[in-house]
Amino acid sequence: MMKMKWKKGKSLLSMLIAVCCLLVTITPVVYADHEKGPANHAQAAALIDVTSGRMLYSKNGDERLRIASLTKIMTAIVAIEHGKLDDRVKISKNAFAKEGSSIFLKLGEEMTLENLLFGLMLRSGNDAATAIAEHVGGTEEGFVMLMNEKAAQLGMTNSHFMNPHGLDHDEHYSSANDMAKLTAYALKNPVFSEIVKTPTKKAPNPNESWDYKWDNKNKMLRFYEGADGVKTGYTKKAFRCLVSSATRNGQQIAAVTLNDGNDWNDHSNMLDYGFAHFPLKKVTEKGQKIQGYTLVTGSSFTYAFAHDEESRLVKRLVLHKATAPDVSFGLRGHIELLLDNVSIGKVPVYEEGSRLPETPDVMQKSRSTSGPLGSLSLWQSAGEVIRHLFRANHN
C-alpha cells in the first residue's frame, strides 16, 4: 500500500472502513448436484466461473493431492506481481539442467523475466521455474515463502508449496478447489492471461543463430472453441493434471482435474457443462437508480446462475446510520443479494449525485476468489481505492 502521512490517525481508519464498503463482495457457492455434474475420470475435479468466483462443480474438491506442474500457475502469478518483466535473469548452476521438463537454458545465459515466464507456462520449463524463483525471491526458498503467503491470502487452505516447479515432494500439495480459486485469481491479471493463451512464442537465443520457439503443450487451445489457458502437469506420482479455461459469450470458466487419464475429453465435457448450465448474468449496473430512494448502485454485479435460480434471488437494501464513518464519499449502505437465503454478495449504494468510485478492473474482478469473507484481498484492494481517490483529488 502506498505510504501516506496523516495528521489524524482516525482519518485513515475511517477511510479504510469506507473503502472496504465500496467494494462488491461475492461469496462463492458450491452447486453440489446439478444433474450430478459433468462425467469425468479424475480423482479430484473442480469447475469455477472466473468472474463471479462461483464454484460450479466439485468432486473431492478439498482432497490434498500432488499437483505436478500446475504449481507453475502460482509461480507465474507471484513472479508477475513481485518482479519486473524486463529484468534480465541470469541462469544459475542450480537452474541449469534442472531435472524434468526443460527449455534447455545454458549456464550463465541471460533472458528477460517475461520470456522466462513464457517458457515456464508454454513448455513447463523447470529450469525457467528455478531461475525465476531465484531472481524474484532472492533464493528459491525465499520465493517459496512468497508462494505460500499468496496461497494464504487467497484462502487456499488445502495447499502447501515446497518448490516453484512441482517436482514431487511429500509436503508439496494442493486441492482441486484451491487450484480453481488460484486460477480464477490469476486469469484476472492481463499479463498472466496473455501468456497462458499464447499458442506459440519466439524468444531471442544468445547462444545460437536461431530463436527459441516454444509451442504451448496445452492441447485445449487447439481443439476446444474459446479455450484460453491454462497449464498441463505430470509426474510419476501425481499422474496427469490439467487446468484449462475458455471464454464464450463474455463468460470465462476454468476447469481443474487431478490424476485424470482422460483429461482432454473430461475438460471439454466440464467446460461444456459450465457454459450450458451456469450462464453469467448481470444483476445490477453501476449507477442504477433504486426505486423509491434517491440512491444509486456504486458498481455492477454479475453472477453465474443455474436454471431458475435468478428468479429466487432476493435483494435487501441495508442503510447505514448517518453517524457511521462510512457515509463519507456519499456512501449510504448496500444491497445484499441472497440466493436461497445464502448471501452471494453486496453492492454499495450512494446518494444520487455522488461521485462513484472508479474501481480498477482487476480489483473488481479479484473480489470473488478470496473465500467466503474475502477479508485479506479486501484490505489489499482498499489500498488501491485510496490511491485512486487521492490521485483524483490531486489532478
The residues assigned a catalytic role are: 69, 72, 124
Among residues 217, 225, 218, 219, the alpha carbon closest in space to that of 271 is found at 225
Name residue 144's amino acid: V
Q: What share of the chain is helix, strand, coil (3-state, %, to 5)?
A: 35, 25, 40
Q: What angle do CA 153, 43, 269 make, to 5 degrees?
A: 90
Return the C-alpha cell found at 150: 499468496
d(CA 181, CA 54): 9
Pairing of strands 200-203, 88-90: unpaired
d(CA 82, CA 144): 13
Rg (CA), the chain: 22
Q: Is 80 helix (H, G, I), strand (E, B) or coil?
A: helix
Residue owning grid cell 505460500: 148
Return the C-alpha cell found at 182: 488460484
Q: Is 363 helix (H, G, I), strand (E, B) or coil?
A: helix
Cis ω for the linkage preceding 230 (within 30 of 0): yes
